[in-house]
Chains A and B, each alone.
Chain A
Amino acid sequence: KNQVEQSPQSLIILEGKNCTLQCNYTVSPFSNLRWYKQDTGRGPVSLTIMTFSENTKSNGRYTATLDADTKQSSLHITASQLSDSASYICVVSVSSGSARQLTFGSGTQLTVLP
């Protein structure tokens, strides 16, 4: 069964600090992995997309890493800002070409305090 596990479930940090969110998956055959940011009451917005051959992808202060061998990904946020407070969702795709190919993690709720 395809699964995506995210940790921690929630995280509180002070403004300006760095943090790392984890994503472990058991999805096969793997196509790509993406991280979304979802503000409260809003739809998810894509941050990064990585294919099997990519190890790192950056988007501003967000840097995602992927280890396809261990089936792990991380999202590192540098110099956090209050606006980073949101849920971060890891999504893994299989390469079957089906509309059911996305598997969503339950998200990490990040709170950045002043």
Chain B
Amino acid sequence: SQTIHQWPATLVQPVGSPLSLECTVEGTSNPNLYWYRQAAGRGLQLLFYSVGIGQISSEVPQNLSASRPQDRQFILSSKKLLLSDSGFYLCAWSVPGRRLSYGYTFGSGTRLTVV
């Protein structure tokens, strides 16, 4: 069966420090991968998605970047964190080769607090 792992679960970082959140998927090949941010009381906002190694699409201009160095690995990064980067970050994957609306499974999330 397929599983998605996301870490760390919580992170407190000072303003101006770098960020690296990692997400990996097991049990499938060439998944579509996504990074979302969820602000308190608001819906999920799609940040990045990837349909293959090295293929990254950005949805909103921001202080973050994403990379996909391996087929089942998706990394969210920042060179210098801002206070506004605080939030709950979710990684998700969907079934490859099918409509993206199916098989949409989320990781357990990372609570990032920038202080």
Contact = CB atoms under 8 A, between A and B. Distances in A.
Interface string A10-46: 0000000000000000000001101010000111111
Contact of A99 (B44, B49, B90, B102): B49
A110 interface: no
Counting contact residues on chain A (CB < 8 A from B), the size range is: 20 to 34
Interface residues of B, number: 27
Contacts of B106: 36, 43-45
Contacts of B44: 44, 89, 104
A36 to B, nearest CB: 8
A21 to B, nearest CB: 15
Given A4-B43, A107-B43, A95 B99 contact: yes
Given A32-B101, A43-B90, A97-B100, A102 B46 contact: yes
B51 A99 contact: yes
Nearest to B45: A104
A98 interface: yes
A1 interface: no
A74 interface: no
Interface string B28-64: 0000101000000111101001010000010100000
Nearest to A105: B43
A9 B41 CA distance: 9
27 contacts: A4-B43, A9-B41, A31-B99, A32-B102, A34-B104, A41-B88, A41-B109, A42-B109, A43-B6, A44-B44, A44-B90, A49-B102, A89-B43, A91-B104, A93-B101, A95-B101, A97-B99, A97-B100, A99-B32, A99-B46, A99-B49, A99-B51, A99-B100, A100-B59, A102-B46, A103-B43, A106-B41
Interface of A: 4, 9, 31-32, 34, 36, 41-46, 49, 89, 91, 93, 95, 97-107
